[in-house]
A and B are shown apart, each in its own frame.
Chain A
Amino acid sequence: MPFIPHTEEDIRAMLDSIGAESVEDLFDEIPADLRAPPLTGIPEGESEMGITRLMQERAAKDGMPSNFIGAGAYEHHIPAAVWQIATRGEFYSAYTPYQAEASQGTLQLIYEYQTMISRLTGMEVSNASLYDGASALAEAVLMAVRVNRRSKAKRVLLPGALHPDYRKVVKTLIGNQGIELVELPFDETTGQTPVEVLAPYADDDVTAMVISQPNFFGILEDVDALTGWAEERGIPVIAVVNPVSLALLKPPGEWGANGVDIVVGEGQPLGAPLSSGGPYYGFMTTLKKHIRQMPGRIVGRAEDADGKPGFVLTLQAREQHIRRSKATSNICTNQGLVVTASTIHMSLLGDEGLTRVAEACYANTHALVEKLAAKGIKPRFTGEYFHEVALDFGGDAATRVQTMADAGVLAGLELSRDYPQLDGCVLACATETKTESDLEQYVTTWEQAA
């Protein structure tokens, strides 16, 4: 199929046929104040040579800083082979294939992806991916409400130590669906969400509960205690996890006595570059008994009329092209290309490689904390952490972070933006990409910024 844009004549003919004056007329119903203003800083149109030069100039402004900011998107080494393979013509599409007979390779790849992500999270089934971690959580909340039909309250417990952007996206996506979100406080000493904060809801009708592991502050939650509390009350649990951490931590499928009901997270750490915030992908896994309530596409292994194995899109009766307004979601496509890269990334790393990455992340962040402790900078919380830590920079944090950035070190995310009580705290992460001299540079620039 050729991708040729409509000509002026084509557009005129179509407008005349429906009786519209201009393309602009078609957007009449959208109030002017809801429309995006013109994008400043983006030129009208440029030649390939012109745009290359412009982008090089702008990239040079960013420089090549040593990055210690994580906060939901993490810098990891991506083997060169990953995108070399992912951009082959056979794979190079963002879309899920609709036509099974012409798409066996892509379907098999998604099937392998589902298998890998199910194993990593310790769950039974996976979908073919969602847009990103935050919207995957919103979908999981809606799914949990469908799963727990017995609960009439539609009340979902969200930890305050969950990523603030995730909380915002959940509020945006489900805000008008009659679901109540209750925010659970965290312990300001440990940084954990202690099981005691659930006490006020012990006898309430709670529809679902979210647990983030590690939480936004990098702190490890007592997931067995939290899951156990929910299990005793028959409340479905949604786990939000960092996939890299699962190489070291207990998978959500084994939390508590019987494991959680739904697992979601951001897939970016598995093969997608930071790239100004996207495209990323969200993953979602669950138990077989909940599969009909799961949103998104699912690839299954089937047999053809001759008994030969093949791959198909399955359980499509949940989806919008069949169920219309009652579909389990209106996500009809997925982040196919990023998932392709991610699957190749996981294949190249393997169990052992991913474990080594996770171990290096853990070791580097703990080494950084040790070096800073010698200079009097302490973690803000006492809880155990994986590869991210809230550092108490003190009163001049903002100036210090800026000065360090000017010196080529991005020290971390200032937490005061979302947590006023954590003023002066900087969330820092040292992944496997950081060397001993990178850690030394962090400490040196911190000292020089005083």
Chain B
Amino acid sequence: MSEAPKDLKYTKSHEWVRSEADGSVTVGITDHAQELLGDLVFVEAPEAGSTIEAGTACATVESVKAASDIYAPISGEVTAVNEDLADSPEKVNESPFEDGWLFKVEPSDAGQLDALMDADAYAAHVEAES
């Protein structure tokens, strides 16, 4: 069973969300997702300053065997993207919840966080999917 930290929120499409102290959120893909994808070779993050909408595709991760869309877990403005991934996409595989974060968002409606799953619900979701 792959790892899923308790302090994060999760989507059914395998993104994780961390609420930061300044009200922004950090987004990445889960350990389970990176395991399914295999070795990542490219990450196409949204542009900093762009607006994303919850549930719509906003980024792409490409592995040696597939390219998959990343869906915005929450609506808002993208305030930062993980520039390190341009040269080292493997960080997503090595450290999906820390160094491999994808982008940060200033939520337009923080209430949307409540609709996301906690770690236990996500673990059950992964279990049900497999």
Shortest B45–chain A CB gap in Å is: 11
Q: Which residues does chain B contribute within 8 Å of A153, judged by CB atoms?
A: none
A-binding segment of B2-10, B59-67, B122-130: B59-67
- How long is the Cα–Cα vector from A150 to B47 in the complex, in angstroms? 8
Shortest A340–chain B CB gap in Å is: 29
- Answer yes or no: B98 CB below 8 A from chain A CBs: no
Q: Please report which residues of chain B, range 50-81, place their CB below 8 angstroms from some CB of chain A when the two chains form the complex.
A: 50, 62-63, 65-67, 69
Shortest A344–chain B CB gap in Å is: 33
How many residues in B have their beta carbons less than 8 Å from beta carbons of A? 11
How many residues in A have their beta carbons less than 8 Å from beta carbons of B? 8
Q: Please report which residues of chain A, range 146-200, place their CB below 8 angstroms from some CB of chain B when the two chains form the complex.
A: 149-150
Shortest B92–chain A CB gap in Å is: 15
Q: Please report which residues of chain A, range 189-223, place their CB below 8 angstroms from some CB of chain B when the two chains form the complex.
A: none
Main SS at interface, chain B: strand
- Answer yes or no: A301 CB below 8 A from chain B CBs: no
Q: Which residues does chain B contribute within 8 Å of A326, judged by CB atoms?
A: 67, 69
> How many A-B pairs with Cβ below 8 Å?
20
- How long is the Cα–Cα vector from A107 to B92 in the complex, in angstroms? 32
Return the contact of A317 from the options B47, B50, B66 (Cβ within 8 A).
B66
- How long is the Cα–Cα vector from A318 to B67 in the complex, in angstroms? 7
- 17 more A-B residue pairs beyond the given contacts A149-B47, A292-B44, A318-B67, with a C-beta to C-beta distance below 8 A: A149-B50, A150-B47, A292-B42, A292-B62, A317-B41, A317-B42, A317-B62, A317-B63, A317-B65, A317-B66, A317-B67, A322-B65, A322-B66, A322-B67, A323-B67, A326-B67, A326-B69
A residues with a Cβ closer than 8 A to B are 149-150, 292, 317-318, 322-323, 326
Can you name 20 A-B residue pairings with CB atoms under 8 Å?
A149-B47, A149-B50, A150-B47, A292-B42, A292-B44, A292-B62, A317-B41, A317-B42, A317-B62, A317-B63, A317-B65, A317-B66, A317-B67, A318-B67, A322-B65, A322-B66, A322-B67, A323-B67, A326-B67, A326-B69
